[in-house]
Chains A and B, each alone.
Chain A
Amino acid sequence: GNSVTQMEGPVTLSEEAFLTINCTYTATGYPSLFWYVQYPGEGLQLLLKATKADDKGSNKGFEATYRKETTSFHLEKGSVQVSDSAVYFCALSDPIYNFNKFYFGSGTKLNVKP
């Protein structure tokens, strides 16, 4: 079946530190991969996406590369800000199995301290 595994949080960093949030997946086909961000009290917002192997998604200084060989889609940012404090969700849709269904990881909470 399909599933997404994320590193457990919370992750606490100082401002300007380097961020990595690990995400690995299991899928029956060639999924599309997503990172969503949830700020306190709000719904989720798409942060970035990648639809095929070796694609790199990027937005607002965040990056993630679709690695088929390691079934991973790790989120990185070179220098985090206090405003990046949020919960980050890795997700996939699998066009072979059913691209109308989405699978989310459990979320990783990021706390950035000034």
Chain B
Amino acid sequence: EAQVTQNPRYLITVTGKKLTVTCSQNMNHEYMSWYRQDPGLGLRQIYYSMNVEVTDKGDVPEGYKVSRKEKRNFPLILESPSPNQTSLYFCASSSLGLARSYEQYFGPGTRLTVT
């Protein structure tokens, strides 16, 4: 089954404790992206990656890091989480076959709470 998986689905942590949210896709997609969803703000793009070792900032990259060492994986790293990073996070992937009409496939989301 074609899918994007994220782990963990739920995470409660404390300020300053480094954490990683994993994302993996089995569709051989070149493009992967991270979003955060906050009430009233919709989805905002954190980082994206066009392919292995190619990443770039979205609109809200501060406080986050990413890496793309393998095509299927795109982990999101919070080196020193703060309460304002409490949010619902989504990973997405897409083929680059038709540049103007990307269909992104989304993971189920990770709900992060930072106390």
Contact = CB atoms under 8 A, between A and B. Distances in A.
Interface residues of A, number: 25
A95 B58 CA distance: 15
B56 A100 contact: yes
B100 A106 contact: no
B46 to A, nearest CB: 11
26 contacts: A6-B42, A32-B100, A32-B102, A42-B108, A43-B4, A43-B90, A43-B92, A43-B106, A43-B107, A43-B108, A43-B109, A44-B106, A51-B101, A93-B100, A93-B102, A95-B100, A99-B100, A99-B102, A100-B48, A101-B59, A102-B102, A102-B104, A103-B45, A104-B44, A105-B42, A106-B42
Interface in B1-24: 4
A105 to B, nearest CB: 5
A49 interface: yes
Interface string A37-56: 00001111110010100000
A89 interface: yes
Interface in B24-73: 31, 33, 35, 40-45, 48, 50, 56, 58-59
Interface of A: 4, 6, 32, 36, 41-46, 49, 51, 89, 91, 93, 95, 99-107
Contacts of A99: 99-100, 102
A73 B112 CA distance: 32
A46 B50 contact: no
Ordered nearest first, which 9 A-B pairs have the shortest CB separation?
A43-B106, A104-B43, A106-B42, A104-B42, A44-B106, A51-B100, A46-B103, A32-B100, A51-B101
Contacts of B50: 100
A4 B45 CA distance: 13
B106 A45 contact: yes
